[in-house]
Amino acid sequence: MTGKVPADAPARRAEVLARIAAALVDRPASSAVPRDYQHRLPDHVDVLDLFAERVADYRSTVHRTDAAGLAATVAAAIADRGIRRLVVPGGIPEGWLAACPAERIGDDPPLSVEELDGIDGTITGCAVAIAETGTFVLDAGSGQGRRVLSLLPDRLICVVTADQVVGTVPEALARLEPARPQTWVSGPSATSDIELERIEGVHGPRILDVVLVDRPG
């Protein structure tokens, strides 16, 4: 059925466009968009410290380590969260999971939603992270996989490397490829729908660990 359109579709399209043209008959004046808002953080701000602080503000757990300590940190997070079976998307570096205590489950061939729903946790990399807002962005690239992998299991571990962390939202957008499906994640799933009291954990992963890999030295 993809692509099937009702018979009067061209007429509807033409009518909407004609209505818009008629509504703009006064030809509103054009003016440049002022862009003198902040694009970068001041030089004295340490983006890694700020990222760690802002992620923790969302009540997710931040583990800071370096390349040498990464495998042990990931293993400890997996064990602490009681993850027995772990979804491992294609492209995760072998070194991250050198000490992994959980059974690893790949997504090739793709897992069904029922299978995924029955798995404890997922580990993922990311495309970019934003210090100012405590956000990491998944773009289904290598080490991340399909969007659903980071959605159904209740525990999510995201590894962020120092070179992926930028200061601001404008810097992050400049690094991202619009055509890729993206999920921007800022803390665990949450709601404020009951008396505007924030509760962590509704439909997405309720437990979020972010492992931040500092620059060497």
Partner 1 sequence: MTVPAEPVPPIHATTRRPLPTFRGTPPFPEAARTALADPQLRANLRRATTTIRDKRSRVVAEREDWEQLRLAGAAIKDEVLRDLPALLERLERAVVAAGGVVHWARDAADANAIVIEVARAHGTTEVVKVKSMTTQEIELNEALAIEGIDVWETDLAEMIVQLGHDLPSHILVPAIHRNRTEIRDIFRDEMGKVGRPAPADLTDDPKQLAEAARRHLREKFLRARVAVSGGNFAVAETGTIAVVESEGNGRMCLTLPDVLITVLGIEKLVPTWRDLEVFLQLLPRSATAERMNPYTSMWTGVTPGDGPQEFHLVLLDNGRTDVLSDQVGRQALRCIRCSACLNVCPVYERTGGRAYGSPYPGPIGAILTPQLRGIAHHPVDKQTASLPFASSLCGACFDACPVRIDIPEVLVHLRAQVVEHAARSHRIPTPEAGSMAAAGWVLQTARRLGRAERLASLGGRVVGRRGAIGRLPAPGWAGAWLRRRDLRTPARESFRAWWRRTGGRDDAR
Choice between 8 and 94, CB closer to partner 1: 8
The span from the CA of 79 to the CA of 94, in Å, is 18
Residues 64 to 93 in contact with partner 1, rule: CB under 8 A: none
Q: Given candidates 73, 122, 124, 133, which one binds partner 1 under the rule CB under 8 A? A: 133
Q: In the stretch 96-115, what mask flags binding to partner 1 with x, by CB under 8 A?
A: --------------x--xx-
For the bound state, the minimum distance from the C-beta of residue 70 to partner 1, rounded and expressed in Å, comes to 26
Residues 28 to 57 in contact with partner 1, rule: CB under 8 A: 28, 30-38, 54, 57
> Which of 208, 212, 180 is CA-nearest to residue 73?
212
For the bound state, the minimum distance from the C-beta of residue 83 to partner 1, rounded and expressed in Å, comes to 19
Choice between 72 and 193, CB closer to partner 1: 193
The span from the CA of 102 to the CA of 121, in Å, is 10
Q: In the stretch 165-204, what mask flags binding to partner 1 with x, by CB under 8 A?
A: ----xx--xx---xxxxxxxxxxxxxxxxxxxx-x-xxxx
CA distances (Å), origin 42, targets 59, 76, 118: 26, 35, 45
For the bound state, the minimum distance from the C-beta of residue 101 to partner 1, rounded and expressed in Å, comes to 27
Is 87 within 8 Å of 122 (Cβ atoms)?
Answer: yes
For the bound state, the minimum distance from the C-beta of residue 91 to partner 1, rounded and expressed in Å, comes to 14
What letter represents residue 198's amino acid?
R
Burial 159-173 (b: 16+ CB within 10 A, else e): bbbbebbbbbeebbe
